A = this chain, B = another copy of it.
Amino acid sequence: MSITSDILRGHTEAIILSHLLEQDSYGYQINKDIMKKTDNRCELKEATLYSAFRRLEQAGYICTYWGDETVGARRRYYSITDAGREAYQAYKRDWEEAKFTIDQLLK
């Protein structure tokens, strides 16, 4: 059983930011890590992931740089900014409150 798009929606950016709190990473790796962390219950589709990266960069929550791979495909790394860290905390508060509120309604 996997999480539906409509429930996932609104959490994508927070999930990415959370991941970048631990360490800089790149698209393909983030994708794999999220699946692994959740035993494949949650998969951010590539198109979803990349559109979220664009929004996060636009908002100044992440910045990017190319890795210096000498072998293999090039990697675009993402790094969380201070504004991103603040945004993450806000997202997290929203989530805690939303959980409470939705629980109130689904009795």
Contacts and interface: CB of A to CB of B under 8 A. Distances in A.
A71 interface: no
Nearest to A93: B1
A105 B10 CA distance: 13
Contacts of A99: 99
A101 B91 CA distance: 16
- Interface residue range, chain A: 20 to 34
A75 B44 CA distance: 42
Contacts of A34: 105
Contact of A97 (B3, B37, B102, B107): B3
Given A3-B102, A11-B105, 5 more contacts: A7-B9, A8-B10, A9-B9, A18-B105, A91-B106
